[in-house]
Structure 1
Amino acid sequence: MAVAALDDACRRIASADNEHDLVTAGDHAHEVVRTVIDARLGAASVAAAWSSVARAALATAARLVAPGLGDWYASGSVGRGDALPGSDLETLVIRSADVTPDSALAQAAHVQELLGCCGFRADDNGAVASRVRFNRTAQEWAVGIGGWAADPSADRGVVMIGLLADALPVGPAARGSIELREQAGIAVRAQPPALAAMLQDATFARAYIPSRLRTLTSGDGRVDIKHAAVDPVVRIARWAGLSCGSDAL
């Protein structure tokens, strides 16, 4: 099956022993995915396989250049498992208590740089572990989660809750602690206004798909499928998952 080629590429990335091998494996994965797409494999299958490739790249990059930094998470489409080639990569870190903030940010930046060399670009909106907001100790994350759930309108609370709801750990299992997304779910379900804010955000009017008549009269049939169709569905599903305590991404 065509997707087996991506599974092999994923294993090659995960087994890389140095930065050069990882970059080479990343280049190979990008070549392979073109052949998989040409084989007309279903989009969902491609997305699931490519998300695994991206998570493997993150885990390996962290292992090679920041082994003692802490626990890494992939969020966004890569965390959910619906990333396609070209999707950006949102990253979070639970920083080890014995690592200084400056050192943690520098190490995370090195990881992001290495991922960029592998063809995996950082999130366009800056949701990356090389920023203080996304690089915290377990205690700092817990304090932040409590604050965002209590007042989702402050400190970009809805955005942060959404990122945590999509976060999936990569590499070694979290050190005996409750995962970030589970913490966020527990906190949000204890605060009905937070769930209401998530629903309001999910149903807020955004880009739309123009009618055939409008396309015919204006001559402009362009549409951003992600913002007009995919993003609202993702947000509604995220709210539903948080509301009922589902562990599904």
Structure 2
Amino acid sequence: MNRIADFLGHHPPFDGLERGELERLAARTTVRSVAAGEEVANGFTEVVSDLVVVMSGSVGLWNSPDDFAGAPDEIVGVGGVLGYSSILTRTAQGPRAAALTDSQICLLPASSIHAVFSSVSGARFLAGRLRVARRVEPSARVTGTVDDLIRSEPMVGAASMSVAQAARLMTERNRDHLVIPRDDLGGRGYGVLTDADIRARVVAAGISTDVRVGEVMNPHAPTVLTGTPASQALVQILELDLDCLPVVDNAGRLRGVVGPGDFVAAPAGRSVTLRGEILAARTPEELAAAAQRTSYLAAELVRRGQPAREATAVLSLLNDATVRRGLELVLDQHPELDRDALTWIVLGSNARREAVLSSDLDSAVAFADTVVDPAVIDAYRVAFGEVDLLLAACGLSNDANGAVASSALFARTHRQWREAAAGWRESPLENKGMIMTSLLIDSRPIWGDHGLSAVAEVFSDLRAHPATLRLLLAESLSHKARIRSMRDVLSGRGGTFDIKSHAVLPVVNIARWGALSVGSGELDTRARLRAAAGSEMLTEDNSAVLIEVFDVLQKVRMSYQVAQLDNREPASDVITMRRLSPLDRSLVAQAVREVAAVQRRMVNLSHYVPVTR
């Protein structure tokens, strides 16, 4: 019994149970040996009566009752749990399980495990098991954080070394970089010297290799914290065009270095190759052919069980590359237009790097203040209309509400944007002030001099305008989390659920407002919720709940849209509830209840406490 209790305690969802609970569970557990090929359970013929935990060997799962002859859809190893979907929903919905090797399993009676899945660890376990029932490669490697990509000890040098000495050291160790602690330069952090730096800053410039490393290195190298999702580190490398990225712990100590090549074997690593093909496209036809593979790459990440935030980050990264290259190809056809006089900005979910397969492309442009001739601005807008058409050919839909750079409302000079933003801040009820504020707060420049950041600075001062902040709070909370709206009932859309409008957007709105209320410049929803956690309007617990809920909703949303892609249906945020598994339906319903509870609390508090300190 102790052996079984010890084993269960090391594997989710049992790892959150107290020792006494584990021993009581172990006392009701039966251990059984099964031979390779022997059926373990068949949830398609009857409701599963025992939860199965694999103690040794491996078990294959088949998610469809029509095809047991081929390879399994999933392979469960030691610590793997199966049968919970059938037990919790009391339906014969599968899967079929059979031993792939001689294995040992333990069987836990259904009557004894309901409390396990009612615990916090049980809920997290279920949320993490949301997936599309599709075949995946058993050998697919799942990489979660940047730590998993570190291959060896980082190579450290000194700023006082000569470039010749650094080059010899890099050659001897077969490295393309050298990390330089800034301690001896009187600063903190790290500098980096790479092969590319030596070629560009020393050899090409005709400088002697006796020059000190400290004079030619990048003195302020970007770093990433241990534990950072691999996809986030990949985005940073590609966006900043880095050859290497030092990995540091919370104390600032160097733990390793990762580069673009380290991501090739990771699930998101194929995005490196595809992004390169997109940026290298020489014609609109080549760009469209490459960009149309974007949704399939994101879908494959979902099928492999990667977190939804990784799939959405990769999708947004590739969308950025497609927009950049599309703009370049169009401007190549308009040499009369000064490409250095504009900044292209993405808005909405793409700006937050939370794009899903159904996401539209919201965009805006900020012109240099020297662009004042109306005829020149009209010529730019014509070109931007061509960009819209090219992106549509690439499979990217433009915003149906007109938030596109080809619209006069979204193409202004830097000065005009700043003046308009200041006006919206002072009078949010005029000139679509609240709508435009929400759009521009979720903005990220991807081309040009990033001049629209000045607009973000205008909105960062919203804490000094509590009346406006309170109006924005009321607007954010007006989008209620709910399973069905009256419009759904009247339009006859029974049995459907708009997961974006009625679940995801309420969380996004709370996060956006919460970040504004504490003066945070974070963009993505999860980071905004963490930044606002602990404020009077959003407690630590509320923030943690909303982050978990957001992850669950995005997983369900992406999984459903991947299933639509597989069925050659257009991706949609309107979900037919009967197409979800009973378990997924219950998780969505619980998520909506959690969001609604936080909204009610914030509405009540808004009557009594200041919106900001």
TM-score by length of 1: 0.88
For the residues of structure 2 that align with 1:180 and 1:227, how far apart are their CA atoms? 30
Deviations 1:198-237 (A, max 9, x none): 1111111436115xxxxxxxx9432111111110110111
SS at match of 1:223: strand
Is the strand fraction higher in 1 or 2?
2
- CA 1:142–1:200: 2 relative to 1, 3 Å: same
For the residues of structure 1 that align with 2:467 and 2:340, how far apart are their CA atoms? 38
Matches within 5 A, 1:1-249: 1-66=266-331, 67-68=339-340, 70-99=342-371, 100-174=376-450, 177=451, 179-206=453-480, 208-209=482-483, 220-249=494-523
**Which region of structure 1 is more displaced relative to structure 2, 17-26 or 133-142?**
17-26
For the residues of structure 1 that align with 2:426 and 2:381, how far apart are their CA atoms? 28
CA contact (8 A) 1:95 1:104 kept: no
SS at match of 1:10: helix
Deviations 1:127-151 (A, max 9, x none): 1111011000001101110111111
For the residues of structure 2 that align with 1:244 and 1:63, how far apart are their CA atoms? 38
Deviations 1:89-115 (A, max 9, x none): 100100234542211211211111111
Tell me the CA shift for residue 69 of structure 1: 5.3
Structure ID, larger Rg: 2
Tell me the CA shift for residue 188 of structure 1: 2.8
Tell me the CA shift for residue 32 of structure 1: 2.6
SS at match of 1:245: coil
- CA 1:92–1:59: 2 relative to 1, 3 Å: same
CA contact (8 A) 1:69 1:104 kept: no
For the residues of structure 2 that align with 1:84 and 1:53, how far apart are their CA atoms? 12
CA contact (8 A) 1:161 1:184 kept: no
Structure with more contact order per residue of length (Cα contacts < 8 Å, sep ≥ 6): 1
Tell me the CA shift for residue 187 of structure 1: 4.5
CA contact (8 A) 1:57 1:115 kept: yes
For the residues of structure 1 that align with 2:297 and 2:407, how far apart are their CA atoms? 32
In structure 2, what residue type is equivalent to 1:222? T
Tell me the CA shift for residue 22 of structure 1: 1.5
- CA 1:19–1:180: 2 relative to 1, 3 Å: farther
For the residues of structure 2 that align with 1:121 and 1:178, how far apart are their CA atoms? 23
Tell me the CA shift for residue 247 of structure 1: 1.7
For the residues of structure 1 that align with 2:459 and 2:319, how far apart are their CA atoms? 25
In structure 1, what residue type is equivalent to 2:495? G
**Which region of structure 1 is more displaced relative to structure 2, 150-159 or 5-14?**
5-14
Partner of 2:563: none
User: What RMSD in Å do the two structures reach over aligned CA positions?
Assistant: 2.4
Tell me the CA shift for residue 68 of structure 1: 4.4
Tell me the CA shift for residue 193 of structure 1: 2.0
For the residues of structure 2 that align with 1:245 and 1:127, how far apart are their CA atoms? 26
- CA 1:180–1:54: 2 relative to 1, 3 Å: farther
In structure 1, what residue type is equivalent to 2:475? D
Unpaired runs of 5+ residues, structure 1, are 211-218
CA contact (8 A) 1:10 1:29 kept: no
In structure 2, what residue type is equivalent to 1:52? L
**Which region of structure 1 is more displaced relative to structure 2, 15-24 or 78-87?**
15-24
In structure 2, what residue type is equivalent to 1:86? S
Tell me the CA shift for residue 125 of structure 1: 1.3
CA contact (8 A) 2:351 2:443 kept: yes
CA contact (8 A) 2:364 2:404 kept: yes
SS at match of 1:119: coil
CA contact (8 A) 2:479 2:505 kept: no
For the residues of structure 2 that align with 1:4 and 1:198, how far apart are their CA atoms? 39
In structure 2, what residue type is equivalent to 1:128? V
How many residue pairs get matched? 242
Unpaired runs of 5+ residues, structure 2, are 1-265, 332-338, 485-492, 524-613
For the residues of structure 1 that align with 2:519 and 2:268, how far apart are their CA atoms? 31
For the residues of structure 2 that align with 1:21 and 1:96, how far apart are their CA atoms? 31
In structure 2, what residue type is equivalent to 1:2? P
**Which region of structure 1 is more displaced relative to structure 2, 145-154 or 92-101?**
92-101
For the residues of structure 2 that align with 1:76 and 1:230, how far apart are their CA atoms? 13
- CA 1:8–1:78: 2 relative to 1, 3 Å: same
In structure 1, what residue type is equivalent to 2:275? C
CA contact (8 A) 1:73 1:93 kept: yes
Structure 1 stretches of 4+ with a deviation exceeding 6 A read none
- CA 1:64–1:200: 2 relative to 1, 3 Å: same
CA contact (8 A) 2:421 2:455 kept: no
Deviations 1:141-163 (A, max 9, x none): 01110111111011111111111
CA contact (8 A) 1:105 1:129 kept: yes
% same residue: 30
CA contact (8 A) 2:360 2:399 kept: yes
